[in-house]
Chains A and B, each alone.
Chain A
Amino acid sequence: MVKKISNSRKAQNIKSKILLVSFFPSKKAQMKIQQTAIILLAITLLFVLVALFFLSFKIQNLKKDANLASEKDAIILSSKLSESPEFSCQQAFGNKRVNCIDSDKLMALIENSDKYSNFFGVSNIEVIKIQDKEELLTKCTDANYPNCNHFSVFDSNNSGFSYTSFVSLCRKVNYQDIYFYDKCELSKLIISYEKIS
């Protein structure tokens, strides 16, 4: 019986010693553990930083690429439209011009817009002359042309998004009923699409 008690005491002693060592290791071991922990933390931080840099760099490039692609889309689309026979200046103003819209053709198109409603696959085509900021927008009609600055082919208001590009809007100007001369004005071509619901 006495032997049993002394054995259990011994076991208890050993147990408490083990617990003591595991909870309070020697100073040297503590230092080693701290050192490893700090290095691990530093390396993790480094990787997180590198990943963050890389991500921000990638996102920045992605945004630039997206902007460039949408710019390219707008220019291609407007070039396609401005080069079509319904709009283009062709040889009427001397040499073949690029990004040139004949405003007389545009007026003819506005008058017959109902016949072209599904032809271009867009909801509206607008051309706005670039003039002084103070000048108000005046919609072009048969009555006020060419003393106007806003051409709207289809009077659609249900436009979801639009592409804008620069074009040259040219016309023949009658000089005192003697002759005609060419006048080209820098303008904005706005192509609108309907919102898909």
Chain B
Amino acid sequence: MKNKKAQEEMIGFALILVIIGVIILVFFTISIKNKTTVEESYVTDNFIQALLQHSTDCAENYETDYLDFRRLINKCANSGTGKCFQSSWTYCESLEKNLNSTLKNSWQISSDSYYKAYVLKINNKGNELLTIYDSANKTELTDVKSQFNSKGSVQNLGEIDIYLDVYY
């Protein structure tokens, strides 16, 4: 009789421990999941919209026929080996060069500033066309992803998708 009561109490105690464990596990998974997802952002969306209208230094048919980023991305996707007017740069090389400098000047990336890193990815028909990444102290992307929160957005130009994620 005495033994049975002790057994019942032990089972009860074990049950309480299991319930506590499950609750803690659920909260942990929720908090971890929350950290890795990218927040929707109006700033990055607004940035991509303005960026696409920015004139680059790559001209198409004549000296002052400068392509904006929207047209240059399309040129790079459709005729990557084609070259800018009177230039040795191909459309894709010019796109990478122009994007690198524009992004660098737009997002102040350093260990002291609010933004710690950014990734801009351009996909054409689902295949990667170009990826530009910069981070404070040249930290690897995998480390940045695990250390910081991020926000970003996607802009769709027909078959081309532009992704921008910034880490803070």
Contact = CB atoms under 8 A, between A and B. Distances in A.
B106 A130 contact: yes
A40 B42 CA distance: 49
Contacts of A99: 46, 49-50, 53
Where chain B touches its partner, the secondary structure class is helix
B105 A68 contact: no
B50 A167 contact: yes
Contacts of B16: 39, 42-43
Interface in A27-78: 39, 42-43, 46, 49-50, 53-54, 56-57, 60, 64, 68, 71-72, 74-75, 78
A57 B43 contact: no
How many chain A residues sit at the interface, stated as a range, is 35 or more
Nearest to B47: A166
Nearest to B63: A175
Nearest to A129: B105
Nearest to B20: A46
How many chain B residues sit at the interface, stated as a range, is 20 to 34
Contacts of A54: 27
A68 B34 contact: no
Nearest to A101: B50
A189 to B, nearest CB: 9
B133 interface: no
Interface string A117-133: 00000000000001111
B53 A97 contact: yes
Interface stretch (A14-22, A137-145, A177-185): A177-185
B138 to A, nearest CB: 18
Contact of A98 (B31, B49, B54, B105): B49
Q: Which 8 A-B pairs have the closest CB atoms?
A: A168-B53, A166-B50, A181-B64, A71-B42, A186-B54, A53-B27, A75-B42, A166-B47
